[in-house]
Amino acid sequence: MMVAATERRRQVLMAGIGTALILVMGTVLFFGFRLATQTRTSISALQTASTLQTYPETIAQQLNSLRDRLEVRAYSGQALSELQASVKHVNANLRQLEASGDADGPQLSRAQLMWRQYQPVLEPVVNFTGQPYLDSDTAGSSLSSEGRRHYAEVKRAQLFANENARPLQTQLASLATALQRSSSDAATRLRTLLLAGVLAALVLAIAAGYFQLTRERQERAAREAQEQTRYILKSVREGFFLLDADHRIGSVWSEALTHMFSRTDFAGLSFEDLLKDLVPMATLTTAVKYVKLLWGERAHENLMKSINPLGQLEITRDNGHGAKETRYLQFDFHRVMGPQGIKHVLCSVSDITSNVLLARELQDSQDNANAQMDMMIGMMHVDPLQLTSFLDTTETSIKLVNTILREPARADAEFRKKLAGLFRELHSIKGEASALNLTSVASRVHVMEDMVSECKKRPELSGNDFLPLVLKLDELLAHLRGVREMATRLSVLKDSLPAATPAAGAAAPTPQSARAPAGRAPPGRAPGGRAAAAGSLNDLSPTLQSMATRLAQDHNKQFRLSVVGLADVPPPYASTIKDCLIQMLRNAAVHGIEAPDVRRNLAKQDVGVVKVEFRKTPGGYELVFEDDGAGITPQNLKAAAVRKRLVTEEAAGRMDTRAAMALIFAPGFSTQEGVSMDAGRGVGMDVVARSVATLGGKIGVSTHPGKFTRFRVVLPGADSDSAAVA
């Protein structure tokens, strides 16, 4: 009984000490806030008064300047404007001091009285709006009647300002001194109040500590344990809290939660309300269901941890500066067992944003490194001269793309004409990059093609729709500069290897290097916008073979490529022949050659055959491209044209076989539904047909469904056209 009474007295004393401490701190904070506000206002008034000290002398100087300008008949508007601004500032600052109340006293009253004496002499000057000068051919510039009156007013004001500037400045300095003294007194009172509050708090804290020290050893140990727990919860970077059976947060949590969730009202907050405004509704529903499962007696804790949907939770919160930021939190749950079963669920929250961002950065770095490595490996298998020719050709084509982007356009038809030109140029660049297995270049151009396709789908176009293309074009140019730099380094490395390791049995030059022509002329512009490749296409054969291997792997096909006669291609036709072969080879791999199991069912060899033959004819040249694949049916062509909305169903029904086959060369036509790196754009054969027609040639197609497809390109003699294409 006595122990209980002692405990009650101790509790009453502790409650009294706590109440006194709260009252003391509240009083200190209340009066401290008032004193701090007063100090801040006094400092602001002091700054205003200090600024005012400079104006009497400034006004006197400005009046002197205005008088001098009037005497020499110079332009006085600027001096008058400066004087008006100074007078306006003095009036505004005096009103501000009077409104603040901190400067209310004899010094301010005397300063205002002295300034009011300025008003009669300054007002006629600052309110002058007339023309001070008269100009004549004989007498020159002279003062007008208004100017003479204005000059007299300026002179009177100038004399008055010179006589009274020093007294007014002295009075304003006295006012500033009084304000400074007031600010110092307020600061002193604030320091005294804070010191008294700290001393009172110390006294009360010492008293509380004394009573705490008188507690029994067991209670002291419990208090120390609670203190340590509080320090832990304040220091740890993880957020900890307990959930009760109603899924509400308990009264104890770690301080890290306030930084993670930007709030402090956790006690009694439901888990659903904690996440409600931070995550999407679907994620919130899943998280609430998961927490409910944790209270199931039969739920296996390790299994529950393995299916935790909050292992990496993305939240969006206010960063404290009016903007939103994304953070990543990791939730872990542990069941706290009591005598009656599950009593609480301990939840720990970790901010893993830095880990996630670091992992992403590492992944991006790894991807970039892999991309650089893949690009370097791919470039090592390309003839340096051929790569240099590709880069020169591509840069020339990009200049053409840039020219197309800069072309002025207003009507929707003009914008769509620009898109068509961009499509053709980009498709040619991508085809040549794919042929050389430069996937980094081809993928970037493919993205630009996607952007052009999206523009074509819009009902109306404007110049702003082309701005993203300009940015992507700059990125492509920067990447090509990196490719050229790497190509230069690889070329230097290749040149140095044979000389560095002759005794070690260095490998002989690669076939591509051996076949590379000894010299090349600078690439020129061919009709249709592509650069003409100098020299023969003898070095294109290994490129086509490499491209065929890649296409077969990408599309799960098997076929063998046979190339004959490319060494006989005249230089003026080299670029067009190269574009034709690249596009036709891609079409054969995507549309022509069947998969091995399909060919097997059709009693064909698993490995298809693609033949390329270039030969000279009596009338010029002929290129034949043939594959033994699925062939082409007019019905499929017409159905694809209807799907692409190139023709109506009625027009397709009236087409004969010849007209249907001509759809292959129509802009925007493709039999493939989706778009891939190698097909689906509907611009490849369109570009081929345009290039051949520009050279004065013809292109035809013959096919037998299930047997073969053959393209035949007929070109005139190069001698008669060399002048036109050079």
Highest-scoring range by mean pLDDT, 30-39, 110-119, 224-233, 492-501: 110-119
Do 593 and 707 form a contact (C-beta atoms < 8 A)?
no
pLDDT interval class at 108 (50, 70, 90): confident
- Residues 692-721 have a mean pLDDT of 84
**pLDDT tens, 345-357?**
888 888 888 888 8
Lowest mean pLDDT among 136-150, 265-279, 521-535, 592-606: 521-535
- pLDDT of 506: 35
**pLDDT tens, 581-602?**
888 888 888 888 889 998 888 8
Q: Give backbone dihedrals phi and psi of 338, rounded to 5 degrees, phi first.
A: -125, -175
- pLDDT of 408: 81
Do 418 and 405 form a contact (C-beta atoms < 8 A)?
yes
Lowest mean pLDDT among 70-84, 193-207, 259-273, 298-312: 298-312
pLDDT interval class at 528 (50, 70, 90): very low
**pLDDT tens, 516-527?**
333 333 333 343
Contacts of 90 (CB under 8 A, 6+ apart): 52, 55, 59, 115
Do 73 and 142 form a contact (C-beta atoms < 8 A)?
yes
Cut 0.75: pTM above it: no
3-state helix/strand/coil string of 223-257: HHHHHHHHHHHHHCCCEEEEECCCCEEEEEECCHH
459 CB neighbour count, 10 Å cutoff: 5
From its phi and psi, is residue 654 left (phi > 0), alpha (psi between -120 and 50) or beta? alpha
CATH 1.20.120.160 region(s) of the chain?
A: 374-495
CATH 3.30.450.20 region(s) of the chain?
A: 227-358
Q: Which of 434, 447, 448 is nearest to 586 (CA)?
A: 434
How far apart are alpha carbons 226 and 228 in whole angstroms? Answer: 5
Give the largest CA-CA distance in the chain: 129
CATH numeric code, 4-200: 1.20.120
Vertex 597, ends 594 and 600: CA angle to 5°? Answer: 90
CATH numeric code, 227-358: 3.30.450.20
Contacts of 522 (CB under 8 A, 6+ apart): 392, 534
Lowest mean pLDDT among 156-160, 425-429, 583-587, 646-650: 425-429
| pLDDT exceeds 60 at position 161 | yes
How far apart are alpha carbons 450 and 241 in whole angstroms? Answer: 50
- pLDDT of 516: 34
Domain 374-495 has CATH 1.20.120.160: yes
How far apart are alpha carbons 424 and 686 in whole angstroms? Answer: 8
| pLDDT exceeds 70 at position 138 | yes
How far apart are alpha carbons 684 and 668 in whole angstroms? Answer: 9
**pLDDT tens, 62-80?**
888 888 888 888 888 888 8
- Residues 409-426 have a mean pLDDT of 77
User: Which of 693 and 318 is assigned the larger pLDDT?
Assistant: 693
**pLDDT tens, 213-224?**
776 666 667 677
3-state helix/strand/coil string of 257-295: HHHHHCCCCCCCCEHHHHHCCCCCHHHHHHHHHHHHHCC
How far apart are alpha carbons 91 and 88 in whole angstroms? Answer: 5
| Distance in Å from the first CA to the final CA of the chain | 116
User: Which of 529 and 611 is assigned the larger pLDDT?
Assistant: 611
Contacts of 260 (CB under 8 A, 6+ apart): 239, 327, 329, 349, 351
CATH numeric code, 520-726: 3.30.565.10
- pLDDT of 507: 35
User: Which of 558 and 452 is assigned the larger pLDDT?
Assistant: 558
Structure tokens at 130: 């007339």
CA 84 to each of CA 87, 127, 143, 481: distance values in angstroms, whole numbers, following the listed order = 5, 8, 21, 60
Do 711 and 612 form a contact (C-beta atoms < 8 A)?
no
CA 562 to each of CA 426, 583, 592, 609, 622: distance values in angstroms, whole numbers, following the listed order = 28, 16, 16, 8, 16
CATH 3.30.565.10 region(s) of the chain?
A: 520-726
How far apart are alpha carbons 391 and 636 in whole angstroms? Answer: 38
